[in-house]
Amino acid sequence: MNGTSFAPPAGSGPGAKTTSGPVVVVGDAHLGSAAAEDERAFHAFLETVPSLARRLIIMGDLFDFWFEYRAVIPRKPFPTLARLKALVDAGVEIHFFGGNHDRWGGSFWDRDLGIPFHGEGAELELARRRAWVVHGDGLTETKLGGRLIHRITRHPVTVGTFRLLPPNLGFWLADHLSGGLAEANRTEEAIRRAADAQETFARAVLDRRPELGLVIMAHTHRQRLVEHRPGRFYLNAGQWMVDRHYAVVSESEIRLMKWDR
């Protein structure tokens, strides 16, 4: 599906470098709590990525929960991890940005999968655009509960305490508690307000940072593409869970997409 699409001049924007080629952006799949057919579709989607682009940006909340110990990782995500490793081996460059459900990543991603893991935001050169990329939780939360969850999940005491738990107990607790962060507990009006607040935040970043040509965020589960200034954009690729949304960023355009196979 070709949704909203903008086509700025190739290489536009201050600070543009020579990094070229299309980039696929996808996030908020929540594998582990999403429907089984959504997970199967996501795996089929990954198999087609090399035909779409040589770079893949995963915007966080790929899994409904992720925590890695020094020598232990969750078992449920293995089919997805195997497919991601196959993409890396096939020459696809992948970057993973941790979300509020899967921020507790570590050396496994880079060392064992060859995928840089970004626990916070980071700057990347994407299709000749300088981009600031971040999942987005905690930046524009409209509810007190969201701000509290953001602080709790990031606090070193929380991480250290969880690491002291035996893995079987830790993963069991996560299975029973992670649903409390799910969007199902939010009203449509609350989600709309969150998406609007995120757009306002992204526009402010673009105003403060004239060298940026693109701000990419996730978290609100709402697909959005806004040209804030000529050739300078805010992008949310939307949620894979349920909607199966993603985006493709190229030198000539940015396209909002929907997987319908």
Is pLDDT above 80 for 53?
yes
Residue 13 is predicted with a pLDDT of 37
Q: How many Å apart are CA 208 and CA 33, to the nearest integer?
A: 38
pLDDT digits over 141-151, tens only? Answer: 666 566 666 66
**Cβ–Cβ < 8 Å for 241, 29:** yes
> Residues near 82 by Cβ (< 8 Å), separated by ≥ 6?
none
Q: How many Å apart are CA 151 and CA 99, to the nearest integer?
A: 13
Q: Give residue 219's domain range.
A: 5-258
Phi, psi of 32 (to 5 degrees): 115, -30
- The average pLDDT across 23-27 equals 97
CA-CA-CA-CA dihedral for 11, 45, 77, 59, to nearest 10: 30
Q: How many Å apart are CA 106 and CA 69, to the nearest integer?
A: 8
Residue that is written with structure tokens 């070709």 in the block:
2
pTM: 0.85
DSSP H helical ranges for 93-218: 107, 144-154, 156-164, 167-177, 188-208
Where does the pLDDT of residue 163 fall: very low under 50, low under 70, confident under 90, or very high at 90 and above? confident
Of residues 164 and 247, which shows the higher confidence score? 247
CA-based nearest residue to 249, from 24, 48, 7: 24
- Residue 19 sits in a domain whose CATH number is 3.60.21.10
Q: What domain count does the chain have?
A: 1
pLDDT digits over 175-192, tens only? Answer: 766 654 444 446 788 888
Question: What single letter denotes the amino acid at residue 84?
Answer: L
